[in-house]
Amino acid sequence: MSLYGMMRTGVSGMNAQANRLSAVADNIANSSTTGYKRASIEFASLVLPSTNGNYASGGVTTSIRNSISQQGDLKFTTSGSDLAINGSGFFVVQGPGGTPVLTRAGSFVPDGEGRLVNAAGYQLLGYSFANGVPSAAANGFGGLEPVTLVQNELVATPTTTGVFTANLPAGADIVPAADLPSANAATATYSAKSSLMTYDSLGGEVLLDVYFTKTGANTWEVAVYDQANAAPNTSFPYTAPALLATQTLTFDATDGKLTGATDITIPIPPLPPTPGGSSLDLDLAKTTQLAETYTLLDAKVNGNAPSAIDGIEISQDGTVFANYENGSSRALYRIPIANVASPDQLLVMPGNVFTESPESGAVQIGFANEAGRGSVMSGALENSNVDIAEELTSMIESQRSYTANSKVFQTGADLMDILVNLKR
């Protein structure tokens, strides 16, 4: 046995316990940090080869582990922009440098430009609905942009899609071709009529008159007019532009369901003097012809008049909706959930964020409640997963072990002093 080896072993033990105490200190300091993941020190023995009956003392090495996959308790707040993930996965955020990183810290608030930023200054990233329903990038962070909630402008959405479901009376009288609504004659006759409120490209209200007229056995005509062009007190004839759209519906004589075309495309005229317009794709697929009176079952279209954002709502699948003063809502972004094969092997970076490492595996992007990913909880935050009682216990253990290792070093130093003074 070497006295120097004995002293080095004592120093190794003190260094190991100092590392453990550093981790304990960090855990206690961040016990109230949103989304913080507990750090721990794992010990491994360092054994040196011993020969001829002489024991060669080695020491101890340490490695750092972070309990990233262990979820902290959820606490609910009064802010709808506070977000937590209930389950596995991470939010994708970016710092001032623009590099995407991962985090569980969801204490987001809008900054001066309306971007959602957490307490560490990282911006939440999401996929925009501006170009249609978003899909997650399969191999990277492409397509992500800062989630921005601008509340200082009016927003108008033109009507583009809708659903109309009704029952047309099978016993209705057949109307001659000359008297059909599509002929736009003063003698026009129809079997049923409803009106739809739609919006042009600038959010102007356009009221459409939708006429259903039986033209033959199991055959109906759909004719659509702009109510603004109706003749006073009579509707027909409409002034130019008259007929906006027409469609023929054919029903099965046995079950009364549609057998032919199931939708109609309706150009929505702009309010004067607005140029241009929009087009409504109205789905009639569930319309029936049964032995019952005309019954309207469902009629809804998208779009809204100019309105300011009244509030934000975030669903459990990560979709960010803007709620407007007029009661309408619109999807703005969808927040993705990132995951890796081994979360505990992620690299821990300043600001309570993580990046992938060779041991963690590559980052995979998806959406909430898909492929084992958790759900997004609005108005909630994830507490740190630090247990103060456990940390205090570890602190006491480390203190005792540090003292014991210091005694080993001190004993070795005393023996070395005796050896040096033998000559005297």
Q: Are residues 190 and 95 in the same domain?
A: no
Same domain for 235 and 189: yes
Whether pLDDT at 421 is above 90: no
| 131 and 142 in a common domain | yes
Number of H helices, E strands in the chain: 2, 29
Residues 91 and 180 in one domain: no
Residues 320 and 283 in one domain: no
Q: Which residue has the higher pLDDT, 61 or 50?
A: 61
Q: pLDDT category, 272, cuts 50, 70, 90?
A: low
Q: Is the pTM of the predicted complex or chain greater than 0.85?
A: no
Which long-range contacts (C-beta less than 8 Å, at least 24 apart) are formed by 183-188?
184/225, 184/236, 184/237, 184/238, 184/242, 184/243, 185/236, 185/237, 186/231, 186/234, 186/236, 186/237, 187/236, 188/235, 188/236, 188/237
Residue 152's pLDDT band (cuts 50, 70, 90): low
Q: How many domains does the chain have?
A: 3
Label the pairing between strands 278-283 and 263-268: antiparallel
Answer yes or no: is pLDDT of 178 > 90: yes
Return the CATH number at 177: 2.60.98.20
Instruction: Report pLDDT for 330.
Output: 83
pLDDT tens-digit map of 228-252? 899 888 789 998 778 999 999 999 9
Which one has a higher pLDDT value, 166 or 421?
166
287 and 313, same structural domain?
Answer: no
Pair (202, 274) in one structural domain? yes
pLDDT of residue 145: 92
Q: Is residue 109 very low, low, confident or very high in pLDDT (cuts 50, 70, 90)?
A: very high
- Lowest-pLDDT choice from 20-34, 152-166, 335-349, 392-406: 152-166
Q: Are residues 81 and 105 in the same domain?
A: yes
Helix (H) or strand (E) holding 338: strand 337-339
325 in the same domain as 219: no
Residue 362 has pLDDT above 80, yes or no: yes
Give the structural domain span for 402. 3-67+385-423
pLDDT in tens, 310-341: 788 999 999 999 888 777 788 899 999 999 99
Confidence grade of residue 151 (pLDDT, cut at 50, 70, 90):
low
Is residue 275 pLDDT above 70, yes or no? no
Examine the pLDDT at 215 and tell me if it is beyond 60. yes
- Same structural domain, 212 and 275: yes
**What's the pLDDT score for residue 274?**
61
Per-residue DSSP letter, 292: S
Judgement on whether residues 187 and 279 belong to the same structural domain of the protein: yes
Tokens for 10?
């004592």
Please write the tens of the pLDDT for every residue from 299-308. Answer: 999 888 888 7
Q: Does the pLDDT value for residue 388 go beyond 60?
A: yes
On the question of pLDDT at 1 being above 60, the answer is no
Whether 183 and 287 share a structural domain:
yes
Give the strand pairing for 161-169 and 192-199: unpaired
